[in-house]
Chains A and B, each alone.
Chain A
Amino acid sequence: MANYLKQGASVPDERGYYGDFGGRFVPETIIPALDELMAAYEEAVDDPAFVEELLHLQKTYTGRPTPVTFAKRLTEHLGGAKVYLKREDLAHTGAHKINNALGQALLAKRMGKQRVIAETGAGQHGVASATAAALLGLDCHVYMGEVDIARQQPNVFRMRLLGAEVIPVSSGSQTLKDAINEAMRDWVTNVRSTFYLLGSALGPHPYPKMVRDFQSVIGHEARQQIQEEAGQLPDVCIACVGGGSNAIGLFHAFRDDQDVDLIGVEAGGYGVDTDKHAARFGNLNISRPGILHGTRSYVMQTEDGQIMETHSISAGLDYPSIGPEHAYLRSLERAYYTSATDEETLEAFQMLSQLEGIIPALESSHAVAEVIKRAPTMPKDSVILVNLSGRGDKDLDTVIKALEG
């Protein structure tokens, strides 16, 4: 496989900006660490030995390339566009998060940082980090909000089994946002010895770029595979957007294919007109450009600039900001963003399970929900490529409760 880490892109600039978005809004203490990280990353992607090791692990450990599957019965049921699934649920640990975790863990090792910290929402990034740390012999500490610990129990057990320490976070909304706060506080404190293995395409530069590059393997593979399977490029690519890593990982390879529409699906919760959702682009009365976790992007906030607590049935999308490159792609109208409610997501979760024998993660089910809305409106010879970012085993408790309650 070619070195997908170096697929060209005009963004970010050297200050980490994607148009008006991005940057490095962090305490001075960690600026030298970000500089060091950036230099180490640039050196690593130019080092054939590093790239080879990553690609070899992707192939022999993660199980890449993950397939693209034609969803025949779903396509027939919806009666419109042909639907293809990029199967990140089949990657080792059950989600796309491993692509980034392995890359960053290799980098940590290369930089001689033995202690790795991570934040997690759904627990998928925590599991991926714990896995990569076990594989490479690093010490791993994962911050996780108490609310998320309660709703993603299986992943908490998995992390502990893998030898990671799970540190409960009881501040604020006790979800992903607060886990990132705590991880950043840890990093500021232990910056000399510690590598912060950030799990999505957000945070201060160079994280959004580095995470995008590691995740761009998704689109790099899928662009080839869809042409083999469908005989053409997709008309539409669809992915769910929490921080934005699986979406940017899919979109990146298609950004110059002007005829391919790129659609991100945010968490609509109880509806974007309520105050219980995480659709950063869904309701611009409560979401404006602002600064959270070191980057300038859209942020759900009060009039007074206090960050709002969000809601989603899926822990992985329950976050009040969005990666800066998505804000940029939206401003260029290169990508479009919509949302799916909890209810639509549950329907999609069941439909994919019953028609295709694939139980998707609740996060990924948001993308499937958009397919259900969109496919019937498209011609039968058109093609949708949807990123199935993860599998749903971790969500069974939540879904059982939601369906029974």
Chain B
Amino acid sequence: MTASTRTFGLEAIAEIFQQAKDENRAAFLPYFPIGYPDYDTSLDAIAAMAEVGVDGFEIGVPFSDPLADGPTVQAATQKSLENGTTVKTCLQAVHKLRERGITQPMLMMSYANPLVAYGSEQFVIDAKAAGADGLIVPDLPPEEAAYFADACAREGMALVFFLAPTSNDARIQLVAENARGFIYVVSLTGITGARDALPADLSQTIANIRRLTDTPLVLGFGISTPEHARMMNSLVDGFIVGSAMVRAAKEGVDAVGKLAAELRNSLG
């Protein structure tokens, strides 16, 4: 299937949550940065994960000062920049992945500055043209997102906002009103990085948010093992695994595919 014949954007994202729900499981959306350990290998890693049936992707666009990221992603995106990765080559990567027949939704994940430097509206248009379905920008809360929000609404693209254990009802409501596609729930106060244990108050955090919105909730930060993944089925609509995938990539594309398969299979 090519980009032109698959469902796209918000609709494609809604479909993966529906499908996961029908199968009584959470959707699995791994993160992977373009350009790490090098450009071609990053595409192969994403293809390997697509192969084992992950539900969608967070496609990392590197930024020099990733202040929501821990050491693993920092080092990987730094390497990617040293390899010459740009916003443009990341969009080309999405196009290439679509040409390779990958149909899962892809959300571009970066920080505000590189996207604003590219041109917020132009980025949304070009990302759509390349075959992406949405945007995730951790330093862009809803009240600062007007330019992106207008463009995403016009183009039918998802625009994901975050909630955290610190979010009060007013923030939950604001994010719920503005989120397009899903809400990214940060599991803990902190930065990205694989952790051995998830926080004890996680179900409370989720229940708090669930009380106020029906929008799909996707949990991220710290999730790294099949045990964690299994917990997600009863907790949220989907989850993101980033640092653990990046760490696996040190051992090669096969290790990435293997970890993705393990996580996917643990969901049942």
Residue in contact with A303 in the complex, picked from B70, B117, B141, CB distance below 8 Å = B117
Q: Is the interface of A mostly helix, strand, loop or mixed?
A: mixed
Interface membership of A190, Cβ < 8 A? yes
Interface membership of B113, Cβ < 8 A? yes
Interface membership of B129, Cβ < 8 A? no
A29/B189 in contact, CB under 8 A: yes
B113/A305 in contact, CB under 8 A: yes
A181/B65 in contact, CB under 8 A: yes
Chain A minimum-CB-distance residue to B191: A185
B171/A28 in contact, CB under 8 A: yes
Interface membership of A23, Cβ < 8 A? yes
Most buried by A among B65, B112, B144: B65
The 8 A CB mask of B65-108 against A (1 = contact, 0 = none) is 10110100010001001000011100000000000000000000
Chain B minimum-CB-distance residue to A309: B64
Interface membership of A147, Cβ < 8 A? no
The 8 A CB mask of A1-42 against B (1 = contact, 0 = none) is 000000000000001000000011111111111000000000
A27/B162 in contact, CB under 8 A: yes
- Surface stretch bound by B, among A263-271, A289-297, A325-333, A393-401: A289-297
Interface membership of B17, Cβ < 8 A? no
B141/A26 in contact, CB under 8 A: yes
Measured between beta carbons, the chain B residues less than 8 angstroms from A307 are 64-65, 113
The 8 A CB mask of B135-175 against A (1 = contact, 0 = none) is 00011110110000000000000000111111110010001
Interface membership of B116, Cβ < 8 A? yes
Measured between beta carbons, the chain A residues less than 8 angstroms from B164 are 27-29
Measured between beta carbons, the chain A residues less than 8 angstroms from B118 are 304-305
* Contact count A vs B, C-beta below 8 Å: 111
- In chain A, residues 70-103, which have Cβ atoms closer than 8 Å to a Cβ of chain B? none
Measured between beta carbons, the chain B residues less than 8 angstroms from A188 are 67-68, 189-191
Shortest CB–CB separation between residue B137 and chain A, in angstroms?
9
A299/B113 in contact, CB under 8 A: yes
A185/B67 in contact, CB under 8 A: yes
Measured between beta carbons, the chain B residues less than 8 angstroms from A291 are 111-113, 116, 139
- Bound: A299/B191 CA distance, A: 24
Interface membership of A274, Cβ < 8 A? no
- Bound: A290/B64 CA distance, A: 13
Shortest CB–CB separation between residue A105 and chain B, in angstroms?
23
Interface membership of A301, Cβ < 8 A? yes
Measured between beta carbons, the chain A residues less than 8 angstroms from B78 are 171
The 8 A CB mask of A26-67 against B (1 = contact, 0 = none) is 111111110000000000000000000000000000000000
Most buried by A among B70, B74, B164: B164
A32/B166 in contact, CB under 8 A: yes
How many residues of chain B are within 8 Å of chain A by beta carbon?
A: 40
- In chain B, residues 174-211, which have Cβ atoms closer than 8 Å to a Cβ of chain A? 175, 186, 189-191
- Bound: A24/B138 CA distance, A: 12
- In chain A, residues 274-316, which have Cβ atoms closer than 8 Å to a Cβ of chain B? 288, 290-294, 299, 301, 303-307
A305/B114 in contact, CB under 8 A: yes
B189/A305 in contact, CB under 8 A: no
Shortest CB–CB separation between residue B17 and chain A, in angstroms?
21
Interface membership of A177, Cβ < 8 A? yes
Shortest CB–CB separation between residue A187 and chain B, in angstroms?
9
Measured between beta carbons, the chain A residues less than 8 angstroms from B54 are none
Measured between beta carbons, the chain A residues less than 8 angstroms from B63 are 305-306
B86/A304 in contact, CB under 8 A: yes
A304/B114 in contact, CB under 8 A: yes
A27/B138 in contact, CB under 8 A: yes
Interface membership of B115, Cβ < 8 A? yes
- Bound: A171/B138 CA distance, A: 20
A25/B139 in contact, CB under 8 A: yes
- Bound: A189/B175 CA distance, A: 21
B86/A28 in contact, CB under 8 A: no
- Bound: A307/B113 CA distance, A: 9
- Bound: A291/B163 CA distance, A: 21
Measured between beta carbons, the chain A residues less than 8 angstroms from B143 are 15, 24
Measured between beta carbons, the chain A residues less than 8 angstroms from B190 are 29, 188-189
Residue in contact with A28 in the complex, picked from B74, B113, B115, B175, CB distance below 8 Å = B175
- Bound: A288/B167 CA distance, A: 33
Measured between beta carbons, the chain A residues less than 8 angstroms from B165 are 29
Shortest CB–CB separation between residue B222 and chain A, in angstroms?
12
In the A-B complex, the 8 residue pairs with the closest CB atoms = A305-B117, A305-B114, A29-B164, A28-B162, A306-B64, A189-B190, A291-B112, A304-B86
Task: List 15 contacting pairs A-B, 8 Å CB cutoff, sorted by A.
Answer: A23-B144, A25-B139, A25-B144, A27-B68, A27-B138, A29-B164, A29-B165, A188-B67, A191-B189, A290-B113, A290-B117, A291-B113, A291-B116, A305-B113, A307-B113
Given contacts A28-B164, A181-B67, A292-B65, could you give 15 more A-B pairs where the C-beta distance is less than 8 Å?
A: A26-B141, A27-B164, A28-B163, A29-B186, A31-B166, A32-B166, A185-B70, A188-B68, A188-B190, A294-B139, A299-B113, A301-B113, A304-B87, A306-B63, A306-B64
